[in-house]
A and B are shown apart, each in its own frame.
Chain A
């Protein structure tokens, strides 16, 4: 069963087809990978699926239900969490607080705030946050303001916040960019554990050397379209994929001249 499925999803920016009739599906309890050269539309796909961009054409289904162009908070409430490729820290708040805002519905009720009912939940949530911070090896930074973190640490903070929310589908935009290989493998091992519990992953990543062996299914994008899909070996042997990756480096060479 597919938890997420897009049908001919398209997004245009002033005539640029950033997404062109994209059909991507994520099987429940799988790690699905989306790869492709720079500017191929991967982040645009995430933004459109999660409601941050309006789709110009096509549909997005989550657990069989049409979620196309719903506002981001509604999509999130349904059980989809996403990270941002460019980390979005709450700069003047502590690392711990950056995690504490994540749980569903937590902190929204003014009544619970006035009565102090939240105190009962908070301890458990704080403990969970510390476990995640420990796992990602940034627990020593718990009381630092997020603006003092390095680029790699901010990346981990993004992942940590996503892990805080009990989502059914976790979408991550380059979660291991700038993260050391040992920790990257730990992180992906954890994702494999979570996936066995029925949680699904959609991961966009450039570091194929690390991430490929963890993925169940791979989509390759180029110029806003899906040009190939399949298992690791199907992708690596696909001449179009090879061409796109080589083609990209060709044009880079041309640009450099």
Chain B
């Protein structure tokens, strides 16, 4: 039971980061980012590809990335186990690398939006994301392709049985931080401009703001945040393999959580994410029981896809505003002035 709760909490942490990043980009700014998985994958690349190479260089290990990363893992784990400061330091380094790589990728990735209308942009972003996925999967030089690479256990100083709980706490902490950042960004004149851009780009341009620049900023921030989730997930798994960054897990599901919770409402998105994760984890853990109980004529794994596909369908059809509807945002100065006028 405890393990179930920890698993739910851990995935709630990963997914909260990703769905909030998507809320910033899609819920507020209206950018149809069907390539969310790319930014998450960049988190994996930052850890598995860049961070590993820094360590390989620092330790002077030779060989290809796949074997060298395994060697590095055992060397760094010993260090981290002897001194937690190394572990925390390396964790922060990984997050910083992921944020930078995510931001750069996000900024470049959104450039086609200068020439494309919404529908074509969505398809283009999906395609770019898929291409990056394929390249990382088939080119073994980046993050080991289909063999994957190892990564150090940044929490190697925590006893084995408590590691998962500790990692969950770290992930939830970062997720909370991401919530605070996204909230701060959206409950502000910047967030107001993003919603304005979603509603009507011409008006934003007519008031002297470049829609393209706003989009680049948004995609850079959103991708940097989503990339944190990819890095955390990689560090948690202590290895990186491209196949775990699929578009179903990191684009389709986050969209579902966002739409279920309520696009443009951060609290709603968190609620949507929580609901989704509970259902998903319970489905995964009890899939055999469910299959026997319901006398399903197919593997219960399929149930997940069918169920979430249907859920998306019904949300879009019957509750497009989500569980918690988007609300007007009244900033502190607005409230203050209104109070003064009423007084």
Which residues of A are in contact with B by a Cβ distance under 8 Å? 50-52, 71-73, 76-77, 81-82, 84, 88-94, 96-97, 100-110, 112-114, 116, 118-119, 122-123, 126-127, 130, 142-143, 145, 161, 165
Contact = CB atoms under 8 A, between A and B. Distances in A.
Contact of B202 (A52, A96, A114, A122): A52
B288 interface: no
A114 B338 CA distance: 24
B109 to A, nearest CB: 18
A92 B30 CA distance: 13
Given A97-B328, A145-B328, A118 B188 contact: yes
Nearest to B210: A73
The 10 closest A-B pairs by CB, nearest first: A107-B189, A76-B208, A122-B333, A90-B199, A72-B205, A113-B190, A123-B333, A77-B208, A126-B337, A107-B193
Given A90-B199, A130-B341, A143-B328, A96 B190 contact: no
6 contacts: A101-B189, A103-B207, A108-B213, A114-B185, A118-B188, A122-B334
Nearest to B181: A114
A88 to B, nearest CB: 5
B333 A90 contact: no
A90 B337 contact: no
A93 B221 CA distance: 23
B191, B196, B213, most chain A CB atoms within 10 A:
B196
Contacts of A112: 190
A105 B208 contact: yes
A114 to B, nearest CB: 6
B207 A102 contact: yes
Interface residues of B, number: 39
A126 B334 contact: yes
Interface in B66-111: none
Contacts of A116: 184
Given A71-B205, A88-B200, 17 more contacts: A51-B205, A84-B202, A89-B200, A90-B203, A92-B199, A101-B189, A101-B192, A106-B189, A107-B190, A107-B192, A108-B209, A113-B188, A113-B190, A114-B185, A118-B188, A119-B332, A119-B333
Given A88-B202, A92-B199, A81 B334 contact: no
Interface string B19-58: 0000000000000000000000000000000000000000
Contacts of A97: 192, 195-196, 328-329
B295 interface: no
A93 B192 contact: yes
A93 B337 contact: no
B343 interface: no
A77 B206 CA distance: 9
B185 A110 contact: yes
Nearest to A144: B328
Contacts of B338: 142
A114 B80 CA distance: 33
A165 B205 CA distance: 13
A118 B207 CA distance: 18
Contact of B195 (A93, A106, A143): A93
B204 interface: yes
A181 B322 CA distance: 44
Contact of A123 (B192, B326, B336): B336
B333 A94 contact: no
B193, B195, B331, B334, most chain A CB atoms within 10 A:
B334
B199 A93 contact: yes
Interface string B313-343: 0000000000000101111111011100100
A123 B334 CA distance: 7
A82 B208 contact: no
Contacts of A103: 207
Contact of A101 (B185, B196, B221): B196
A96 B209 contact: no
A118 B189 contact: yes
Contact of A108 (B184, B190, B330): B190
Contacts of A109: 190
Nearest to A146: B199
Given A93-B195, A93-B328, A101 B204 contact: yes
A239 B199 CA distance: 46
Interface string B189-231: 1111101100110111111111101100100010000000000
Contact of B207 (A76, A89, A119): A76
Contacts of A84: 202, 206
Contact of B203 (A51, A101, A105): A101
A91 B199 contact: yes
A73 B208 contact: yes
B214 A108 contact: yes
Contacts of B211: 73
B189 to A, nearest CB: 3
B205 A73 contact: yes
Nearest to A171: B206
Nearest to A94: B328
A109 B211 CA distance: 13
A81 B205 CA distance: 10
A226 B221 CA distance: 49
Contacts of A161: 203, 207
A165 B334 contact: no
